[in-house]
Amino acid sequence: MAENKPVDENYETLTQAYERIRHSHDAQALHEIARQPLPQRSDQSAFSRATALLEAVAGNLTTPVEDRIYLGQEMPFPNVLVKLSSDPDPRVREAVAANANDKNWLVGQLTKDPEQRVRTAALLNPQTSWKMRLEGAQDANTSVEALEYLAKQGLGEDAKGPTILATMVRHAVALNPTSPRELVESLKNDPEEDVRRAVKRRLEKGATEKVVTPLPVQSVPGRGPIGLRSADES
């Protein structure tokens, strides 16, 4: 005859614990959950439960902002990062935007954030797709910091990814009206003729005047405009 096991009256299902934490007003308890070490991955059940509960912590605005920033900076879990990517505090979204564990579609969304600091962090993230880099290089609202980073794509230590796409990004930076004169001049000796021509035209017009010119788009048969593809698709 099977022996009846005692029932733990304090046991919570995952759903019960998630809802309790999501609606909690206990900032100290939320802080402790955010900072407590995760179980070993080998304990799959406990690990999955803990990461699910971190999502509830991340989505609760009672959680201290310092802890939400910490989770945005340190967590590799998509469910937690997605939750934090819509946080009302731009410092939290900035932390997510800079997290190299982001999926490229998530960091791509953050390149369109209303706050410049968030967009800049996203554009500097190595997970950002070439499509988003190109759009950032063309956008007059992009920060100088991001433009300086984009101007180095495909050159020196940043010589990664398809040459065509990196060239298109630098070309766009040269023509971006936000690019300061010093930045435009730094591209005068670019290895690609298209970029050098764009620099010459921009400097002739004046580095503070917007130059309207079509961006050269090179296509690969059967693939369409290569400039609109992400790094993962190249």
Place of tokens 């614990």: 17
Last residue of a domain, one of 60, 92, 119: 119
List pLDDT tens digits, range 194-208. Answer: 999 999 999 987 754
Instruction: With respect to residue 1, please indicate whether it lies within any of the assigned structural domains.
Output: no
| Residues 137, 46: Cα–Cα separation, whole Å | 44
Sign of CA dihedral 148, 149, 153, 159: positive
Residue 229 and residue 161 in one domain: yes
**40 secondary structure, DSSP code:** P
List pLDDT tens digits, range 34-79. Answer: 999 999 999 999 999 999 999 999 999 999 999 999 999 999 999 9
Residue 153 and residue 223 in one domain: yes
Q: What pLDDT, on the 0 to 100 scale, is given for residue 4?
A: 58
Q: What pLDDT, on the 0 to 100 scale, is given for residue 5?
A: 54
Across 7-31, average pLDDT: 90
Which of 14-18, 151-155, 224-228 shows the lowest mean pLDDT across its residues? 224-228
Residue type at 88 in one-letter notation? P
Is the Cβ–Cβ distance between 129 and 227 less than 8 Å? no
Residue 152 and residue 71 in one domain: no
Q: What pLDDT, on the 0 to 100 scale, is given for residue 215?
A: 47
Q: Decide if pLDDT at 148 tops 90.
A: yes
Last residue of a domain, one of 119, 147, 169: 119
User: In sequence order, which residues have a C-beta less than 8 Å from that of residue 64 and are 6 or more positions away?
Assistant: 27, 30, 31
Domain that holds residue 147: 129-234
